[in-house]
Structure 1
Amino acid sequence: MFTERHIERHQLPYFLKVFNRFTDQPIGYLGNVSEDGLMLISNLPLLVGPDFELQLRIPGRNGSVQPINLTASCLWCHEDATPGHYDSGFMLLQAPKEYEQLVGALQRYFSFYPLSASA
C-alpha cells in the first residue's frame, strides 16, 4: 500500500473546516494540501482504507461560500502532537479543477520568492 508522500505539501496556519459531503457533518480541519492529497486534523481517529466523500467550503466574496467536493482514500491516521487530535493522510481519487486552483492559490500565498538584487 502507498503510504509515503512524494510531493511537498504546504502547511496551512489557518485551518479550513472539512465536512462529510453527504451528511453535512464536520470531520475536521485541513492541515496541508498537495495536488494529489491532503492531511486532515480531527478530534477522532479516522478509519484507514475506505474512501471518504469530503467537502471543503471556501470563503468567497460578499460572504458567499464555494463548496469543493472531493473523493479521497484515507491512507494513514495517527495521534497528533496535540493531545485529543488526530492527523489523517488522504490520497485524492476525484477532485474538481477548483481544488487544483485552491492548491495553487495556497502555494502562491504561503510561498516566499527571492527579491531581485537590482532594486
Structure 2
Amino acid sequence: MEDRRQHSRHHTELQLEVFDLHSGQCLGRVADLSADGFMLFSDKPHRADTVVECRLVSEQVIDGVGEIQLRADCLWSRPGANGQHCWAGFHIIDIEQDQAAALDVLLKHL
C-alpha cells in the first residue's frame, strides 16, 4: 500500500482524547498524530467518509496548549484484534490558523 502522507506521523506518549465538538461524546484516543491527521483507537467503529468536528484534548497542557479544534474526514476504519476495539484514520480537512499553530506546538513536543 502506498503511503501518501505529506508529513511524518508521531507516536504520542501524551494522552490525547478526541471528542465530538457538538455532542461532547468521546470518539477515542489518538495513537499517532501529524500535521495532516491522526490515527484513532476507540471502543466503537467509525464510518469511513464521515466528517467530524472535534476537539483534541491533551491530559497535560503543553506550552499553553491543552485543546485543539478541527474538522477531520475519516478515511478508513478497521476492527482491532478479537473485535474488541477499532482503529480509524482521519485526515484534517479544516483547521483555523491559531489551532494549526497549537497543533505544531504539540507535534514539537512529541
Whose radius of gyration is greater, 1 or 2?
Answer: 1
1:75 alignment partner in structure 2: 75
TM-score by length of 1: 0.72
Gaps of 5+ in 2: none
Give the ranges of 4+ consecutive aligned residues of structure 1 lying more than 4 Å apart after TM superposition. Answer: none
Structure of greater relative contact order (alpha carbons < 8 Å, 6+ residues apart): 2
The Cα shift of 1:78 comes to 1.0
> Structure 1 or 2: larger strand share?
2
- Amino acid of the residue matched to residue 13 of structure 1? E
Gaps of 5+ in 1: 111-119
Instruction: Say if 1:82 and 1:11 are closer, same or farther in 2 by CA, change over 3 A.
Output: farther
1:32 alignment partner in structure 2: 32
TM-score by length of 2: 0.77
CA distance in 2, matches of 1:12, 1:35: 13
CA distance in 2, matches of 1:66, 1:94: 19
Instruction: Say if 1:8 and 1:65 are closer, same or farther in 2 by CA, change over 3 A.
Output: closer
What's the RMSD between the two structures over aligned residues? Answer: 2.7
